[in-house]
Amino acid sequence: MLREAIGRSDGWLSFERFMDIALYAPGLGYYSAGSAKIGPSGDFVTAPEVSDLFSRCVARQCAEVLARTGGEILELGAGTGRMAATLLQSLAAAGVVPDAYSILEVSADLAERQRERLGKLPPELRERVVWLDRLPERPVNGVILANEVLDALPCRRFVLTGDAPRVRELGVALEGDDFVERSRAPDAALASACELLLGAIREPLPVGYCSEMCLRVDPWIATLGACLERGLILLFDYGLPRSHYYHPQRTAGTLRCHFKQRAHDDPYTRVGVQDITAWVDFTRVAEAALAVGLDVSGFCTQAAFLLGTGIEALVAAAGDIVEQTRRAGEARRLLLPGEMGEAFKVMALTRNYDAGCSGFALQDLRHSL
């Protein structure tokens, strides 16, 4: 399919389109095919799979918002369904059950795993779960969750040259049967976005500097913003503020591929059976949110969010020393800078909601955006 797409595009396909097909082509792309993706037997492990402590902390933040707004939870890309199950059970224990728990999932394989897991919930919780094939047209009151979704949006790639044009777009061509990287002059959208970027960052970037730019963030946030009438959009992902993302020393960008628990930077191997991601420019997310009338109500590290929502108390509440030791080990993986604690960031976007969010009480990194 990709070779045919390259042929139809005069021998050159933008990396954004390559990534789109590799991840989402019906029946063939990574998220559309039927391989195990998440967890120890898959290609990568997400925070909800590391420990239910993560989801229990998220549940505390959701309960805080739902107590004021009522309504529902909408989760985008629910993985194995483990976070959804833990959230619903935790919210039920807190007496703040959402009217509905909606899941928008692009992977048929993952949706099936979600149905199997959530089908084991008590009937009064199970009956609240619904699966959507598109964002709801009706307004959402409550919470919208997206854990490691933004990093999977197909991105553009570019390289800086010493000649005119200053920016060239990186794409994919064929050399025999092999995919190879080739550059060409960017289209107007990418050229304009790169010029704005280069004019805004403090330090000049060197010739040969290669990175990514996800122009799909803006319409994605705009669409989410149009859904939310009152409440919170909570985004979890690995990423950086723009000044750190486009740093002169980050000369090769942030593109990463994941296969069988190993990370590497070659998107042109194992096409369709490995994940392809790029870190998130959270400054772009904030700008897109403000452009559609959302408030950027919080931005912090995952570690600060989990501490703010009481992960230490959850560890301490373990029934015995064995359970407490297990929880402490899981918490370290979620919190430590060398694990997930610093690389992963959390952003709160709100509409018609002016109450504070406890997850952001300990750290405010909005000034870095």
CA distance linking residue 249 with residue 267, whole number of Å: 22
CA distance linking residue 206 with residue 159, whole number of Å: 10
- Checking if the pLDDT of 36 tops 70, the result is no
Q: State the pLDDT at residue 45.
A: 84
- Checking if the pLDDT of 40 tops 80, the result is no
DSSP code per residue over 286-343: HHHHHHTT-EEEEEEEHHHHHHHTTHHHHHHT-SSHHHHHHHHHHHHHHH-TTTTTTT
Question: Per the domain annotation, does 229 fall within a domain?
Answer: yes
User: Mean pLDDT for the chain?
Assistant: 94
Q: State the pLDDT at residue 34.
A: 62
Residue 369 contacts residue 296 (beta carbons within 8 Å)? yes
- Model's pTM, two decimal places? 0.95
Domain extent, residue 302, equals 48-153+218-368
CA distance linking residue 213 with residue 253, whole number of Å: 10
Strands 256-259, 275-277: pairing is antiparallel
Q: State the pLDDT at residue 100.
A: 97
205-261, pLDDT tens digit by residue? 999 999 999 999 999 999 999 999 999 999 999 999 999 999 999 999 999 999 988
Question: Per the domain annotation, does 160 fall within a domain?
Answer: no
CA distance linking residue 361 with residue 346, whole number of Å: 12
Question: Per the domain annotation, does 61 fall within a domain?
Answer: yes
The mean pLDDT of 131-160, rounded to a whole number, is: 96
Question: Per the domain annotation, does 12 fall within a domain?
Answer: no
Question: Per the domain annotation, does 350 fall within a domain?
Answer: yes
- Checking if the pLDDT of 42 tops 70, the result is no
Using CA atoms, how far residue 143 sits from 110, 203, 350, in Å, is 22, 38, 9
- Checking if the pLDDT of 41 tops 70, the result is no
The closest of 215, 213, 214 to 160, measured between CA atoms, is 213
Q: State the pLDDT at residue 76.
A: 97
In this structure, what token pair is assigned to residue 358? Answer: 């406890």
Can you give the CATH number for the domain in which 112 is found? 3.40.50.12710
- The DSSP H or E segment spanning 5 is helix 2-8
Q: DSSP label at 43? A: S
Q: State the pLDDT at residue 306.
A: 98
Domain count, the chain: 1
- Checking if the pLDDT of 170 tops 80, the result is yes
In this structure, what token pair is assigned to residue 354? Answer: 């002016």
Q: State the pLDDT at residue 162.
A: 84
Question: Per the domain annotation, does 193 fall within a domain?
Answer: no
- Checking if the pLDDT of 145 tops 90, the result is yes
Question: Per the domain annotation, does 17 fall within a domain?
Answer: no
Question: Per the domain annotation, does 183 fall within a domain?
Answer: no
Q: State the pLDDT at residue 39.
A: 62
Q: Which residues, listed in sequence order, are joined to residue 13 by a DSSP beta bridge?
A: 172
278-315, pLDDT tens digit by residue? 999 999 999 999 999 999 999 999 999 999 999 999 99
The mean pLDDT of 33-59, rounded to a whole number, is: 82
Q: State the pLDDT at residue 102.
A: 98
